[in-house]
Amino acid sequence: MSDTLKAELLAVALEAADRAGALLKDGRPADLGVASTKTSPIDVVTEMDIAAEKLITDFLAERRPDDGVLGEEGASSEGTSGVRWVVDPIDGTVNYLYGLPSWAVSIAAEIDGETAVGVVTVPMRGETFRAVRGAGAFLGDRRLRVRPAPALDQALVATGFGYLTTRRAGQAEVLRTLLPEVRDIRRGGSAAIDLCDVACGRLDGYYERGLNPWDYAAGALIAREADALTGGRPGVPESPELTVAAPSGLFERLQSRLEALGAWHD
Ligand code: LIP
């Protein structure tokens, strides 16, 4: 992966995320409603998810016409360049719908199937996280490092829940057992933000079952470049089956508990 290509992809991702973030922050209709639903009646899409994905994919097509794209709201093309963009135009859509601040634009670029660049912008915080594979993770000009790993019972751990009632019931069962074993749990509503908060030390760890690649691609790279470990079940990379992120020392303990609790299946 050439440094020149990675630098170009980072610049494109930053500009695309900045433009989408401005549209979403400044253009949110006061009467925003649900435009459609996906896997369940609570898995919602707004007109702004669709508008933001169109803005991003049009920009990418203009700047990088030979690249592939995978977007949460339907963008899908193979491309011919070996670069594929993985886009979540609004990560935290329910928060955005309700006017809560914890939502993000998440844009990752894969080169030959490996995530090389990740950008997560959080407009309501005025924060943009970025990482290039092998070159560190940053919040603005600040290089990011995870918090030193605490013991599990001192760990502040974030998680999230799916949109299907059967999955949510199983996730509640895992949480019922895990909650007394950790410092506390946080449920922010955006995987991308949770992964970035692990990267910058605002969380000790994060796990969730049922994410899509657009939810975690950029945030997991940012976390790894801040010295977190990321993955799913032991020996498996993060995937819709399970995503886990934490500094070494906590990651292994948390992953082992999640494995024993069956957090990787419904
Ligand atoms: C969200 C994830 C979050 C999860 C939510 C939802 P979306 O993504 O980022 O971690 O708990 O249920 O899936 O749907 O807002 O892009």
Read off the pTM. Answer: 0.98
Residue that terminates a domain, selected from 143, 172, 195: 143
| 249 and 171 in a common domain | yes
Give me the CATH number covering residue 237. Answer: 3.40.190.80
- Tally the domains of the chain: 2
Residue nearest to atom 15 of ligand 1 (CA): 92
Kindly state whether residues 117 and 48 are assigned to the same domain.
Answer: yes
54 C-alpha to center of ligand 1: Å?
20
| Assigned domain for 46 exists | yes
Q: Decide if 266 is inside a domain.
A: no
At 217-238, the pLDDT tens digits run 999 999 999 999 999 999 999 9
How many angstroms is it from 235 CA to the middle of ligand 1? 24
pLDDT score recorded for residue 242: 98
Distance 174 CA to ligand 1 centre (A): 18
Q: Do 21 and 135 share a structural domain?
A: yes
| Residue 184 pLDDT exceeds 80 | yes
- 179 and 97 inside one domain: no
Distance between Cα 17 and ligand 1 center (Å): 18
Whether residue 163 sits in one domain with residue 119: no
What pLDDT, on the 0 to 100 scale, is given for residue 157? 99
End of a domain among 80, 110, 143? 143
Domain of residue 40 covers: 3-143
Residue nearest atom 16 of ligand 1, based on CA coordinates = 91
Residues with CB under 6 Å of ligand 1 are 72, 88, 91-93, 160-161, 189-191, 208, 215
* In a shared domain, residues 8 and 136: yes
pLDDT in tens, 51-89: 999 999 999 999 999 999 999 999 999 999 999 999 999
Measured from the Cβ of residue 26, the count of other Cβ atoms closer than 10 Å reads 8
pLDDT at 10 over 80: yes
Of ligand 1's listed atoms, the one at least distance from the Cα of 92 is 15
Looking at the domain assignment, is residue 124 inside a domain?
A: yes
Please check the confidence at residue 132 and state whether its pLDDT lies above 90: yes
Residues 98 and 204 in one domain: no
Domain of 89, CATH number, reads 3.30.540.10
User: What is residue 263's DSSP assignment?
Assistant: T
Q: Which pair of tokens denotes residue 163?
A: 């949109």
3-state class (DSSP) for residue 120: strand
Around Cβ 124, how many Cβ atoms within 10 Å? Answer: 17
Amino acid identity of residue 65, one-letter, is P
The token duo for 104 is 């993000």
Among 91, 165, 193, name the best residue to mutate to test ligand 1's pocket (greatest count of ligand atoms within 8 A of Cβ).
Answer: 91
Residue 1 has pLDDT above 90, yes or no: no
